[in-house]
Structure 1
């Protein structure tokens, strides 16, 4: 029997924060090409406009909403404009994030370094969920995906305590939200990417290739850096009806556990 490859996403409305580049951008294009109407957010107008052109070139329909996840009014506007445009909200990918300070021992972290990473990576996800959930309830349910990290499952050894703490927090928020809304038709899951090509990772990869070889050897069984589409594939699955009985998980996408016996 022939299966319509777009059937899961035809008519579905998805909001992706931090999607002007990197993993969020790849997911936006992939979902739009499969029938979703995709609203993307970010702080950079030029990159946002360029992304809408790519979404339309893929045969999809998109909307760029300029905004900052550290500002609740911006977050509320992201959701409101999405619903105003298409009348509903079926899926959300809370992807906006920053690396924050690296190669800094815990006792040398400043308040500014700490607060910036926590505010964007963790509180930004909370603000986004707080705005998205009522819109999904009004639409009859939906699926939320929060982007954590492989560092949300492990301690950090590159002096990135704020990033690590924020990504562990995202998993706790995800699991709690999944319980709170399980009986109201909303699924909440987290994805924990390993090192993948993105705007966040590539500058470090290019600047310190020898260091990255060591990191990849420790953090993935494959010893390789991932392509951005592997995260988009996981996002697509968790948003789709194929994951209708999946909620509250933290899914590692890192090329296999890094633990070895040899």
Structure 2
């Protein structure tokens, strides 16, 4: 496992207890490391047992096998955190899959329902059981859900994936309305072009290039998929956004979707010649 280096080691989460689903690699692993660097105790919940155990051991955390489509697995991961440290302060619902691609006219509904069970139901399971123990703990909390730029702008992902990620925005807003009275904040992050294993795999399939690496995808996005030309995205950009939403620095932010996309979904730079002179 490569050494992860971060800034923002300011103890923002000192003594806090967090559960991260999909924490064995990519955005989840980067966030787990950054949380730990900032003083948090982290439970990693994933189906990638070997990778998850390595990450957990590296940050003196805990690992548990967790298929987020199974409510009992998510409930167990949260209960492990409570039994370990007596509380839960942060829930990062990060696990997800890319699902079926292709035309809507050929969409395999069984595959779509599998995607919904993981991407959407998994988030609902996380919010439900995190809220349960946070309400019991009477100390508030922060719940963060992974959505996507595909939830904001059409044409960035498959139909099934887009459906699931936009639904996450809705359930985050509605639960923020209910849980705010308990001091529980619910927010989303929406990454774009971040070279996770999922996105790199998608680029390889679409471009027919099995040799593509994460740095290749990051370079492509930096050149053509961002308003910040030349600024290559990384999983650490998302991890820092999640850290902010998890911390008291974001104590008055709830029901919000933090879009981490280099401005891509905010505007089009194809006519930037008009700004010359």
Deviation at 1:218, TM superposition (A): 6.3
Q: Judging changes above 3 Å, is the alpha-carbon distance between structure 1 residues 13 and 5 closer, same or farther for their aligned structure 2 residues? A: same
Q: In the alignment, which residue of structure 1 is the partner of 2:89?
A: 90
Map of 1:45-60 to 2, 5 A cutoff? 45-55=49-59
Per-residue CA deviations over 1:117-175 (Å, capped at 9, x if unaligned) read 111111110011111101111221100000000001112355x1000000000000000
Q: In the alignment, which residue of structure 1 is the partner of 2:71?
A: 72
Measure, in 1, the Cα distance between the counterparts of 2:238 and 2:175: 22
Q: In the alignment, which residue of structure 1 is the partner of 2:5?
A: none
Q: In the alignment, which residue of structure 1 is the partner of 2:134?
A: 136
Q: Judging changes above 3 Å, is the alpha-carbon distance between structure 1 residues 66 and 83 closer, same or farther for their aligned structure 2 residues? A: same
Kindly report structure 1 stretches of 4+ aligned residues shifted beyond 6 Å. 209-218
Deviation at 1:200, TM superposition (A): 1.0
Measure, in 2, the Cα distance between the counterparts of 1:10 and 1:215: 34
Measure, in 2, the Cα distance between the counterparts of 1:87 and 1:198: 32
Q: Residue 197 of structure 2: which of 171, 196, 199 is its match?
A: 199
Q: Residue 232 of structure 1: which of 220, 235, 239 is its match?
A: 239
Deviation at 1:82, TM superposition (A): 0.9
Q: Residue 222 of structure 1: which of 213, 228, 232 is its match?
A: 228
Give the gaps of 5 or more residues in structure 2.
1-7, 272-277
State whether structure 2 residue 15 is matched by structure 1 residue 16: no
Give the gaps of 5 or more residues in structure 1.
56-60
Q: In the alignment, which residue of structure 2 is the partner of 1:246?
A: 253
Q: In the alignment, which residue of structure 2 is the partner of 1:112?
A: 110
TM-score, structure 2 as length reference:
0.85
Deviation at 1:111, TM superposition (A): 1.0
Measure, in 2, the Cα distance between the counterparts of 1:235 and 1:107: 36
SS state at 1:163 partner: helix
State whether structure 2 residue 33 is matched by structure 1 residue 26: no
TM-score, structure 1 as length reference:
0.89
Q: In the alignment, which residue of structure 2 is the partner of 1:189?
A: 187
SS state at 1:246 partner: coil
Measure, in 1, the Cα distance between the counterparts of 2:10 and 2:251: 17
Give the paired residue count. Answer: 252
SS state at 2:63 partner: strand
Q: In the alignment, which residue of structure 2 is the partner of 1:58?
A: none
Measure, in 1, the Cα distance between the counterparts of 2:113 and 2:145: 19
Q: In the alignment, which residue of structure 1 is the partner of 2:170?
A: 172
Q: Contact 1:16 / 1:93 at 8 angstroms: preserved in 2?
A: yes
Q: Residue 38 of structure 1: which of 30, 42, 52 is its match?
A: 42
Q: Contact 2:149 / 2:156 at 8 angstroms: preserved in 1?
A: no
Per-residue CA deviations over 1:212-252 (Å, capped at 9, x if unaligned) read 68877664223565111000000010001010000001111
